[in-house]
Structure 1
Amino acid sequence: MSDHLTIVDHPLVQHKLTLMRDMRTPSAQFRQLLREISLFLTYEATRDLPLTTKIIETPMTEMEAPTLKGKKLALVSILRAGNGMLDGVLDCIPSARVGFVGLYRDEATLTPVQYYSKLPQGMDGRAALVVDPMLATGNSSAAAIDLVKQSGCRDIRFVCLLAAPEGVARMRQAHPDVRIFTGALDTKLNEQGYIVPGLGDAGDRMFGTK
């Protein structure tokens, strides 16, 4: 664990992640587990958000109470698999603004191809959580964060379910200022660019596609 990489080793995260890795776990359970783990990952990724105070009335008295400082957070999902994490993040931060970046991986070159981008307004004043279950080569994640930075956002955290050492290294090289929060750092990538031991293609596992 470092300033750049945080592995969320909470026992519930690790238990649920084991269930997700199991190839026998059906899509409906896989989606539910991803939603649950995403909430835990969000909790860690937002631990140091800045606070201010405001005066409120409790049933007992007036008090100066803590509240989040600045604009509402932005969540940026890397399509399509990132959408599997959105519900869990929104359970934790229901008022967040949501954006989407569409990227697919060219299977021959393993490079990302962009086909869509829609981000909330006022990104220059927001903290952003960029979500995608798998940090494999890191190419798509780095490209998505390029787009978020182009919108003016400077406080960016990347949240994923699994990471490969190659993807962490790529992100550190491309975006050393972006912290990564993940459930596990796996062993390596295989020749097809998939994480090993991993859990297969997260999008296919979520949606029952091949």
Structure 2
Amino acid sequence: MDGVTVISHPLVQHKLTKMRQKDTSTAGFRRLLREISTLLCYEVTRDLELTMETIETPLTEMQAPVLEGKKLVFASILRAGNGLLEGMLDLVPSARVSHIGVYRDHETLEAIEYFFKAPEDIAERLVIVVDPMLATGNSSIAAIDRLKERGVKNIRFLCLLAAPEGIKHFSETHPDVPIFTASIDSHLNEQGYIVPGLGDAGDRMYGTK
């Protein structure tokens, strides 16, 4: 699909399979989510721009590459996005963090916002929005709407699983935002869950169901 990158690295796919299994414990699911998020972060940041600076090694002075410009912002769609956020911060501890509180009304499947907090200069930064699931697309679209209202122009969306219906809705609404995912699953069921999926990521991560 145009604008969608499927991260097919063997370690990503192996860990995702473990997460899908219904008998994976809460602790195991949480650990796997943190591990896989680090691998996904590696892929979504693969083409970040570099600049050269002068450093000193124990032997000599040299020109060495460092990230160019202002640091990243990881924008977590609460609450499940925090599971991806933690592993990504392990890899990029200097990143700024934005939290976007959006939940899906289980009757209408529409997104309802209840919290938004972001760095003041977020419009000047690359923002990677994270949420384990791209199901209907309503929550992620609502989150990116808010970021664009704040002037953000450089956005990427990272998820574990995506449904074709969610990708279509998302891409039609935000065609300028690339999607990175570990899997495009079959479809959504009548309750708006991804099939075969892995269940509710937030519930499995926090043991709330």
Q: TM-score range by the shorter chain?
A: over 0.9
C-alpha deviations, 1:110-151, integer Å up to 9, x for none?
100000000112012110110000000001001101111112
Deviating above 3 A after TM superposition, structure 1's stretches of 4 or more consecutive aligned residues are none
Tell me the equivalent position of 1:24: 23
Identity of aligned residues (%): 63
Tell me the equivalent position of 2:153: 154
Give the alignment's TM-score, normalised by structure 1.
Answer: 0.97
CA distance in 1, matches of 2:47, 2:145: 23
Q: CA deviation at 1:91?
A: 1.1
* Aligned residues of 1:75 and 1:130 also touching (Cα < 8 A): yes
Aligned residues: 209
1:46-125 maps to which residues of 2 (within 5 A)?
46-125=45-124
In structure 2, give the amino acid aligned to 1:93.
V
C-alpha deviations, 1:43-95, integer Å up to 9, x for none?
11111111111111111111111111111100100000001111111011110
In structure 2, give the amino acid aligned to 1:48.
D
Tell me the equivalent position of 2:130: 131
* Aligned residues of 1:70 and 1:125 also touching (Cα < 8 A): no
CA distance in 2, matches of 1:55, 1:149: 36
* Aligned residues of 1:131 and 1:158 also touching (Cα < 8 A): yes
CA distance in 1, matches of 2:120, 2:51: 23
* Alignment RMSD (CA, Å): 0.8
SS in 1 for 2:180: strand
Runs of 5+ in structure 1 lacking a partner? none
**Does 2:141 align with 1:142?**
yes
SS in 1 for 2:98: strand
Q: CA deviation at 1:6?
A: 0.5
